Amino acid sequence: MTRPLLVFSGRSNPVFSAAVCETLGIQPGSIETTQFSDGEISVEIGDNVRGGDVFVIQSTSTPGNDNLMELLIIIDALKRSSAGRITAAMPYFGYARQDRKVKPRVPITAKLVADMLTTAGADRVLTMDLHAGQMMGFFDIPVDNLFALPIMIPYLHGKYGSENVTIVAPDVGGVERARFFATRLANAPLAVIDKRRAGPNMIASMNVVGEVAGQTCVIVDDMADTGGTLIKAAQTLREEGAKKVVACCVHAVLSGDSRRRLNESPIEEVIVTDTVPHPKGGAGDRLTVLSVAPLFAEAIRRIHSDDSVSSLFR
């Protein structure tokens, strides 16, 4: 007997969840969430999930702690309701930047979140463009890490072509991701920015490794948070003779006034996805939002039917 497919949504990104369900041709599961005056969250599942193949869509974006706790509570409620299999579908995985010890007495919070999800009752995790792919090793359950590349590459190629385009890694840690993009954009040349930090979210200096003069430079990164790295990188690239600078970031965290700062920067377009919700910009806004909901929907369909997910990226 085939397990029924059920998709529930947390409150972090309901528009994204609705788009996933529409693509799958199903109605989102019924769930009622209550938040008490002291901030505590309680949920009640409105559908019968016994034996079902259940997916919970929830990004742990701002407010990250509330959204993470809500996800854990939903998973626990489903587990106690005898769901057959529970997949935490997290378009944006918060705390991913805390994936290693950079000082003697600091936590590895990404590992803690992985343990919490497993303890709550998740049987597998579906996410997108983890900050570091090695994070999949933090889990003792299956993890499917999707890539936004199948959505972003056609847009980049359609708008900017592949001639005189250079893909730029904003730091050494992003070289693998940038090379992945460059290879699939007609083997575009690759440049790397040597970034030196003075402290958290503080950049001391940048130097370009590679030829960028006269090129349309596409900075590829997994996320845009304060925008400091992107803005400084764009300024450095223009000083080195780049004709045009475009940013391509999967997760638009965009904390504080970063969106305004990006709009005032040398970056002509900031291409992001809808893994994190953001309000529609006004005149002069440089944010272009591409939807990865169809990609998530296809991954959910394949997981449910026990088909290959990795073949999405071949």
* Run of H or E including 181: helix 175-184
| Residue among 101, 111, 159, 195 flagged as catalytic | 195
Question: Residue 235, CB half-sphere, CA atoms under 13 Å: how many?
Answer: 13
The yes-or-no answer on residue 195 being catalytic is yes
Task: Characterize the bridge pairing of strands 190-199 and 202-209.
Answer: antiparallel
Distance in angstroms (rounded) separating the CA atoms of residues 183 and 180? 5
Task: Characterize the bridge pairing of strands 124-128 and 143-146.
Answer: parallel
Residue in the structure block whose two tokens are 């890539």: 147
Q: What is the DSSP letter of 136?
A: G
Residue 34 is which amino acid? T
**What's phi and psi for 157, nearest 5 deg?**
-65, -40
- Report the helix count and the strand count for the chain, using DSSP H and E: 8, 14
Tokens of 165: 């385009």
C-alpha distances out from residue 86 to 36, 120, 143, 207, 310, Å: 26, 10, 12, 46, 20
Nearest residue to 69 (alpha-carbon basis) of 146, 139, 10, 128 = 10
Cα–chain-centroid distance for residue 65?
Answer: 17
Task: Characterize the bridge pairing of strands 53-57 and 5-9.
Answer: parallel
Compute how many other C-beta atoms are within 10 angstroms of the C-beta atom of residue 5: 17
* Run of H or E including 36: none
Helix, strand, coil percent values for the chain (each to nearest 5): 35, 30, 40
Residues with active-site annotation: 195
